[in-house]
Structure 1
Amino acid sequence: MNKDLKYWKEAATMILAAGVRNRFESKSVKNTQTYRPSPLEPIRERNVEKPVFDYTVLLLQRSARSSFMPDAQVFPGGTVSTSDFSSEWIQMFQPFCEPPNFNLGTIRQIGKRAPIFAMDRRKLGSQIPGEVAFRICAIRETFEESGILVVKPNAPDKCLNGQGAIKLPPYDQKELSSWRPLVHENAVNFIKMCRELDCVPNIWALKEWSNWLTPTYLKTKRFDTAFFICCLQEIPFTEHDGHETVHYDWMSPPEVIEGHHSKNLYVPPPQWYELGRICRLPHLQDLQQFSQDRMVEGCERWFPICLLASDGSVILYPGDELYPEDPDCTGEKDMNLSSSKSLEQLRLEVTRLHRVELRSLYDCTLYVNIEPQCKHVHPLMMYTYPNSHL
């Protein structure tokens, strides 16, 4: 719906974190037995006790036939539909809240608000603000791809924000399974399903986390994607759809990162970066509280820029000294850079670093020493620059 981004489609994704019953016996919940992650060696080498995570995150493996990121392990999500902006939602949400805010709280972001949220959708004919519609999209797509339904029943208890990790309402799995292909076929059926189940998407459980533009160096589809995070008390029933997604994995964030570096699975850069952020918060309660408190600060829109070096490539993020001052986000201009210098030379010649160096698809190293914006945190990665801001 954003006509300013001619070559990007708007999308939403959900980082789902679910508690495990015994954090001292935190084992991956997987539907395959082929992967056994090893401990984080760099943490042992620093003589730092390895943190024990009391939660796992959901990763879905995309189909090899997918036209975008085939075989990659990603968070659930997808492209926004016009039905996510439907005025029918206003009546359905009335027992809980009213427009225009929908009880999501006020964003007090310092600096420019990410356009995906800042855009006045009324000019496009919708009474549903982007911060609501993209949450609906993330919830709908998560249901389509994994069978997990993050909704709130129309019940007397109307507590919305700040209630910690949520417990999903119990629904008959056969009934939900019958709705999934219908919703996949036509997103309007998600509205019909919520009416029949007498519930609404639990938009208050999703906390605004980040906003990524697909970089132009990827000669493929491009998305302007809103990332949300949602904390669940326990791992729910999960089932991949067999079409867009062919496997699912509930794993701790360090296990996912280690799996990527050991080439057991492939995690695209945005997911890799966000998992590194989450690694700073090994306890679900802390992750929930941090995402709740930080949400009011909003988020930046990140448009990664590629710089080809003599021995690899650099993915530049906002704040890096080599990042363009005013990058063209329309897609009209080629923003990718090149240099005859090595990755190390390019790094040592500057003082402000916010980049990932890629020597191969799986050999990626984060270098960052700038202050994070919007009261966010930088990733705690396996391979992090020794002088980075920690």
Structure 2
Amino acid sequence: MKRNLCLILCILFFIVGCSKNKVNSSTPMVPSTECRTEVKGLVLKYVLIDTAYEIYQVNAQKIDVFSEQEYASIGKDTHDHYLWLIDTYEQFDEEMKIELHAIFESIHPWALMNQTTPLKDHANVEEIIGCLHGSNQLRLNKKLKKSISTFFPYFYYGFLQDYLEINQETFDQYAEEINQQLNQHNANIIEFMEKISGLKFKTRYKPIFYYTLRPIGAMGFNNGNKKISTLQRTCRDDAILFSTPFHEFSHELFQQFTKSKEFKNIGKQLKQIETFEADWINGMQDSYSWLAWCEENLVEGFAKYLRYKYYGTSSIEGIYTYDEDFFNYLKDLNFDASDQSLKEASILFYTKIIEEQ
């Protein structure tokens, strides 16, 4: 069975060696200032929740992709981070371990981080907690509010604050170096994705990428005209910078047709494919509805195609049931949105899969 979603970023790390090519000549250039991509260092409104969740993933969920072997295979820096995740959890009071579990067994970190996204980048722990408690969208019950207000200050002041002081300057430097590279290239991820997909984003977004401490996993958010993606610690230059955002940002494009009646009908038929459903049940059901799982396979396949068109990367390992197949389908077609829409290509691909069963 294909591996967990979060393996995306581990795979992307290994692509670095074959991705350090010049950007494809077809890549759109010279974005306007307000749309220029910007990379930022570690900010608490994301790192507080995301790092707590990574501790939970490593110590409580014990998924293979978050094993010591996986972290060590990426590099010494990442392995050292893994050891910190383990050591920190071991130092937690038993009550705090219970609170940590209570938070992430009740709500996905994306929902929490989506609420903290509008906060200023210098927001502190108290402001983050106040934001979560006051959210009308989250509608946290009293028990969960207590867990949040108890655990996060304990975690930050007892552990994360010192760790951030050690790492902050390094990640700020990473961000500064990539921003300098981007200013030289004038790369525009939004225009490139619109050109290849044949679809338009809702607004004229400014892409912003925020570093997190994790090497595996990423999330995407919208905040007004800002299109945001978190960035794994292994990204040190612009040679693979867009690899993760290609995935995160593509959801908005695909959702222009994955909510249609036609796609829902295809989704019903796809559920008859036992291997596809089994992959969803065994590890993905907690994160995706069935239709979202069908969309996720297409999104990652298309993200691979974007990487291929942008970076010239063609040897890309699949991580889901059909993402690699969809990438190869688009590649073999030499997909061109002026000849066939992305919706048509997606529907035809899944129709072909169904007919072959």
TM-score, normalising length from structure 1?
A: 0.28
Q: Which has the higher strand share?
A: 1
Q: TM-score, normalised by structure 2?
A: 0.30
Q: Quick check: which one's helix share is greater?
A: 2
